[in-house]
Amino acid sequence: MQKKKPIVESLEHFRQQQNVSFHVPGHKYGELSHLPQAFKDVMRYDVTELSGLDDFHHPEEMILEAENLLADTYGTMKSFFLVNGSTVGNLAMIYATCKKGDTIIVQRNAHKSIFHAIELVGVKPVYVSPMWDERTLTATYIAYEHLKEAVNQYPEAKAVVLTYPTYYGMASKEIQQQIAYCHEKNIPVLVDEAHGAHFSACTLFQPSALIFGADVVVQSAHKTLPAMTMASFMHVNSELVSIDKVNHYLRMLQSSSPSYVLLASLDDARYYVQTYMESDGAYIIEKKAQWVEALRAIGSLEVIEVDDPLKLLLRVNGYSGFQLQEVLEAQNIYAELADAHQVLFVLPLLKQGHTYPFADIRVRIKDAVTDLLGTEKCNIVTAMHTTYNFTAVTKPELTFEEIERKDKEWLPYMRAMGRIAASMIIPYPPGIPLLVPGEKITVAKLSQLEELLATRASFQGNHRLEEKMIEVIK
């Protein structure tokens, strides 16, 4: 097994040389910084493209070696380190497969970066609605028959974009069949696997979309691997997608001043996956099972397991996820997100020998639930039962380019039914747009919006929701 960490080792060697800096960055290895000492220690590694430290946009030395090890770890033709998050990978894969005016088929509960890529490239999206899961109370994955319907209706599509797994950890059982069908039609499949970088670590986890033949896969190493925020991977494993084109757009879209601290973090995260054993996977699964059993003994607390072993949903009947989040944070427990119904936990990808204070955390969760039960219930959650019967395959009424030329107006959202959305409205987290420009506003969408507002959800996008107003085409 290859146990090198080329970037980490080269940066450590460089630091030990006691070099003098007459180059950027201006903090001079942290000497001029007034940050706390822990920050300044990291700054010793915050360097630039110097002799012996390779060039991120034209790697020939340590970065190339580290990316080759990444490709070997994930079994791909070519893999890249990303320092601008999975967002830049999602942008690059759409730029590399589509040009202005092309049609692209997109899973509707995609991340906002996918919609931004659609707008920037100028492609025409066709949306496939995900199925609703009553157990997790989330939108999950798309059905094979619905994807097939979209491909048959729009055979000119240049790419299909899937999200696997969902933010909540649900993984499609039909993705292999979906990819195979798209390949029969010579259509590449691009997968936003932001939350699945750990899938390849162990066969006890869900398989990565790479195993099922996905052409391009983007992963947020920082979400479930021990990597720093923004540190991500991009994998190309296809004859249908040009590696040179992907590389070309990554050079254009990524920073010309990459963080070597993030690159070292990616090198280390890749090493973590490569050295992860089946016994490590069995260890975290067993630890989680014991903890879930202990949590379920807490009165009124509902624990929902999902496909991804690192994700867990917690619910207290009659209370919103935002209310539960508040009492958990009072106990210094911070969830990944809250929604109208529940909170989402992202568990650590432990190896054998790693400890985590599960017993102490369980005590604090119990105290939080006790505190919550002493407060007033959220009536809107108790009454909430929206019907999610969306049309399987839809095409926006207007393209992003057409929207730009149209006049717009602000309306009270309850008067906007049947109108065309002019701005994106994004509950965040998870960053999946509720309204996308060009789509017709439906009763179901307005019901969701009202429920989210009633439970104090946070929103991104161009909106005036504090005034109950949204922007529509005039």
Yes or no: say if 160 and 180 are a contact pair by the CB < 8 Å rule.
no
- CA dist., res. 367 & res. 352, Å (int): 29
Report the alpha-carbon distance of residue 87 to residue 98 in Å, rounded.
17
127 beta partners: 106, 394
- Residue 382: the pLDDT is 53
Report pTM.
Answer: 0.95
Q: Which residue has the tokens 């920050």?
A: 39
Q: What's the full length of the chain, in residues?
A: 474
Between the CA of residue 298 and those of 5, 207, 250, 367, what are the distances in Å?
A: 44, 32, 48, 10
Q: Where are any strands of DSSP class E within 88-230?
A: 103-107, 124-128, 132-133, 138-139, 159-163, 189-192, 216-219
| pLDDT at site 129 | 92
pLDDT for 161-220, tens place per residue?
999 999 999 999 999 999 999 999 999 999 999 999 999 999 999 999 999 999 999 999
Alpha helices per DSSP H over 207-259: 221-224, 243-253
Half-sphere exposure of 347 (CA within 13 A, CB side): 29
Q: What confidence tens digit (pLDDT) does each residue in 410-427 have?
A: 999 999 999 999 999 998
Q: Would you call 388 exposed, middle or buried from its count of C-beta atoms within 10 A (0-12, 13-18, 19+)?
A: middle
CB of 358 within 8 A of CB of 365? no
Reported as a single tens digit per residue, the pLDDT across 253-297 is 999 999 999 999 999 999 999 999 999 999 999 999 999 999 999
- Beta-strand relationship, 124-128 and 132-133: unpaired
**Which residues in the chain show pLDDT less than 50?**
383, 385, 387
Predicted local distance difference test score (pLDDT) of residue 1: 55
Predicted confidence at residue 19, as pLDDT, reads 93
